[in-house]
Structure 1
Amino acid sequence: MTTEFTSALHDSEYRITLAQPDLGNMLTLDAMRAIAAEIRTAGRDSAVKIIRIRASGPAFCRGRAVSAPPATPPSAAQFRRNVADPILDVYRAMHESEVPLLAEVQGDAEGFGCAFVAACDMAVAADTARFSLPELQKNLPPTLVLSVLRYKVPPKASAHMVYLTETIDAATAREWGFIAEVVPGASLQQRADAMVASICTRERIALAALKTYFREITIPDFSLASEVAGAALANAMTSMRR
């Protein structure tokens, strides 16, 4: 069992809390596999109306915890299976969930953490939160992130984030579509509680119908985008190592 996050059902809210503040809530690939499984289980649970993603400590999530490189350089297929697929599966589980997901962002969201927020159906952030996609600093093309951003963030905003790797503040993140609302840090939990309470007054079947609409109509071709993103990243990363 992973110690990188906790999960619990609170009435009709399923809450996932990133729980390694000393490490910036960075997530290993094993933790990502576990989170995807949690989201899938909660999304199918008839008792759950919303999945809430939050974090402990000053940072929301500083991205993926990078492990030591293997002794033998992986093939493109191995890289895709061992690195890209666990990340894409989190996004896929969020996309396929029968109920909406809410991100409560109290601090910095970097790399995977930034995409994690964008992949949620709703997101509220503290005014001190910051967002960045620094992957290209290590010559890692963030195609996986772009598979999430393509219908949520304007293309030029996405390009600015991934090419320049600059950090943006919460107000800019709201303007660009990563989040929908910015509140003072002291009010963040209260606002997220109110959003959850409002959604939980609705019938689950109505919430699921809306989620289906967003999934199939406003965010089409997710599977194709995911497949192309994984293949492009795997090919680029294994080619650079040769």
Structure 2
Amino acid sequence: MADLIQRQDGNGIARLVLNSPGNYNALSVEMIAALTNALRDIADEDGVRVVVLAANGRAFCAGHDLRQMQAARDGADGGAAAFADLFDACARMMQMIPALPQPVIAEVQGIATAAGCQLVASCDMAVAAEGARFGVNGVNIGLFCSTPMVALTRAVPPKAAFEMLVTGEFIDAARALQLGLVNRIAAPEALTETTMEMAATIAAKLPAAIRLGKRAFHDQLRLGLANAYEIASGAMCRNILLPDTAEGMAAFLEKRPPSWA
């Protein structure tokens, strides 16, 4: 059996590729576990500055594996324990992405539906191919996408998120860009190149500053104004006291490139 997650490394960028194209990279129990393990490994790797989350095949991710979920109903409890374990494992994995020290960029082709859309919304940034579509479509089969809702409502305006959730309708890449679910749109043949260019731009920055900044960004995001500024000010102080930041500021003033290790 091929690895469910293929990892490719280079120039400070770790590229994690979902590799189950036969079921549109569905988030099966096994896929969630594989992605969890890959993210856990990367969190401790100082050499990784940026993570790209991509997928093989025609789709980015079609959400949970419905065949696997239906099979769980054969259990004595009708699947209750299996479903609880599945959603808990998925929620833990999704929370690892904003908690990861490195920025994470989703590279999206085809469709990103239900938990697949949740995966995109959980990433720090996203690049979508022209023709990509996004949806939280569970309501169409009688299952409101409550867990995908958590990430979605933190990525797009609430009314837009609610419309997607209750209609089950897809939005296209242009609408996703307008709502802030994705950052950039690329021609399908240029999707990987565009994503990797974004990753390379970030990887060229001071890693300690990016890591401090990402943590502060997520910590302050849902706080009141005063508490948000308290967290942000502390992060700025820790950042500015780094020797490499002192060098970066000196280099700017001296009109030269910084000399960072």
Tell me the TM-score range normalised by the shorter chain: 0.7 to 0.9
1:23-172 equivalence runs, <5 A:
23-66=23-66, 67=68, 68=71, 69-73=73-77, 78=81, 81-172=84-175
1:134-159 Cα deviation digits (max 9, x unpaired): 11122222121111122211111110
SS of the residue corresponding to residue 154 of structure 2 reads coil
Q: Partners of 1:96 and 1:74 in 2: how far apart?
A: 34
Q: Partners of 1:205 and 1:130 in 2: how far apart?
A: 35
1:119-176 Cα deviation digits (max 9, x unpaired): 1101011111011111112222212111112221111111011100001110011112
Count of aligned pairs between the two proteins: 220
Over 3 Å counting, the alpha-carbon distance change for 1:104 and 1:15 in structure 2 is: same
SS of the residue corresponding to residue 15 of structure 2 reads strand
Give the equivalent residue in structure 1 for 2:235. Answer: none
Q: Give the Å deviation of 1:219.
A: 4.4
Q: Partners of 1:21 and 1:122 in 2: how far apart?
A: 23
Query: Normalising by the residue count of structure 1, what TM-score does the alignment of the two structures yield?
Result: 0.84
Query: What is the aligned-residue RMSD (CA, Å)?
Result: 2.0
Query: Normalising by the residue count of structure 2, what TM-score does the alignment of the two structures yield?
Result: 0.79
Q: Is the 8 A contact 1:39 1:51 kept in 2?
A: no
Q: Is the 8 A contact 1:151 1:219 kept in 2?
A: no
Structure 1 runs (4+) greater than 4 angstroms displaced: none
Q: Is the 8 A contact 1:114 1:133 kept in 2?
A: yes
Over the matched positions of the two proteins, sequence identity in percent amounts to 28
Give the equivalent residue in structure 2 for 1:204. Answer: 207
Over 3 Å counting, the alpha-carbon distance change for 1:17 and 1:219 in structure 2 is: farther
Mean alpha-carbon deviation: is it higher for 95-104 or for 140-149?
A: 140-149
Q: Partners of 2:166 and 2:114 in 1: how far apart?
A: 13
Over 3 Å counting, the alpha-carbon distance change for 1:138 and 1:220 in structure 2 is: farther
Mean alpha-carbon deviation: is it higher for 100-109 or for 183-192?
A: 183-192
Q: Structure 2: which 5+ runs fail to align? A: 225-261
Q: Give the Å deviation of 1:202.
A: 1.1
